[in-house]
Amino acid sequence: MSTVFGVPLPAILGQLVLGLVNGSFYALLSLGLAVIFGLLGVVNFAHGAFYMLGAFAAYIGLQVLGINYWWALLLAPLAVGLLGVVIERLFLRHLYRVEPVYGLLLTFGIALIAEGIMRSLFGSSGKSYPVPALLQGGFNLGFMVLPIYRAWVVLASVTVCGLTWFLIERTRLGAMLRAATENAQLVQAFGINVPLMVMCTYGAGVALAALAGVLAAPVIQVSPLMGSSLVIVVFAVVVIGGMGSIVGAIVSGLVLGLIEGLTKVVYPEASNIVVFVIMAVVLIWRPAGLFGKEQ
């Protein structure tokens, strides 16, 4: 059996595939964060909580209302996205005039509320969500059996990221969005309803997080705390990619997932912190992030 640095090659490939799955979640989540940050200038601490709510929406939908996985993929992001719209309308909107750190603190409070409510209602233990019938089973890749569901997660995430990128970089709506990011007042003066656009953007970013949650539900245990430590990793991913950079968020999400997977083979103890260490190195070397513009 071939080895690299004394580690069997199949083990490395296996962890790389798992890392790619994790990276898909990072990419989806950091994309939403980057879109929100780009237009609103708000670091959405509640992103992990919305991811958790997305997974719970799918779980509750299945258990109580009998909504299957495919409908949950559509309905859960919609429901959680609407919640995001309400939060933007009621709270965030009033904080754009004050310093950006207040947006961070507000969303931190909202994350505490959401996690506390779900913990009170459902307890801290994880709930399992079945893999949909269509996606059960696995491919034999030779070095490992890849569950079809995980391949689907990567495919779905890359597709959604690609579509979002296209929407923002290549359509008229995206052009207005980017213009509003540069200079909101001027765009408003052209007769575009910027507050509405900001509200919808927040809702869309939140919906992306919820979508990641639904995708994650069959892979991991659905629990109220599933998003709270993930969100910090995703923050680091966004900082590495360059705050507000769409491409940066997607690419660094996927790549960091791979690097994390690799670390699990080479030096497992460091796999939890490797993303943060990379963040520190990137900040020293390129303070604006890999894809970010120096302001």
Residues within the interface to other proteins (CB under 8 A): 43, 91, 94-95, 98-102, 104-106, 108-117, 119-120, 124, 228-229, 232-233, 235-236, 238-239, 243, 269, 272-273, 276-277, 279-280, 283-284, 287
Shortest separation between residue 129's beta carbon and other proteins, angstroms: 22
Q: Which is nearer to other proteins, 99 or 169 (CB)?
A: 99
**C-alpha span between 108 and 76 (Å, rounded):** 22
Q: At what angle do helices 230-241 and 9-40 cross, to 10 degrees?
A: 80
Shortest separation between residue 23's beta carbon and other proteins, angstroms: 18
CA nearest to 54, candidates 163, 199, 215, 200? 215
Residue 197 Cα to chain centre, angstroms: 21
**C-alpha span between 241 and 244 (Å, rounded):** 9
Contact between 20 and 257 (Cβ < 8 Å) = yes
Distances (CA, A) of 229 to 45, 67, 233: 11, 29, 7
Shortest separation between residue 47's beta carbon and other proteins, angstroms: 12
Q: Which residues, including other chains, have CB under 8 Å from residue 272's CB and lie 6 or more apart? A: none
Contact between 190 and 172 (Cβ < 8 Å) = no
Q: Which is nearer to other proteins, 124 or 221 (CB)?
A: 124
Kindly report the backbone phi and psi dihedral angles of residue 172, in degrees, each rounded to the nearest multiple of 5, phi listed first.
-65, -40
Shortest separation between residue 177's beta carbon and other proteins, angstroms: 21
**C-alpha span between 26 and 17 (Å, rounded):** 14
Shortest separation between residue 189's beta carbon and other proteins, angstroms: 27
Contact between 77 and 207 (Cβ < 8 Å) = yes
**C-alpha span between 49 and 83 (Å, rounded):** 12
Q: Which is nearer to other proteins, 72 or 110 (CB)?
A: 110
Q: Which is nearer to other proteins, 40 or 154 (CB)?
A: 40
Partnered with residue 140 across adjacent β-strands are: 145
Neighbours of 274 (CB within 10 A): 18
Q: Which is nearer to other proteins, 28 or 106 (CB)?
A: 106
Shortest separation between residue 111's beta carbon and other proteins, angstroms: 7
Q: Which is nearer to other proteins, 70 or 267 (CB)?
A: 267
Shortest separation between residue 92's beta carbon and other proteins, angstroms: 10
Q: Which is nearer to other proteins, 107 or 150 (CB)?
A: 107
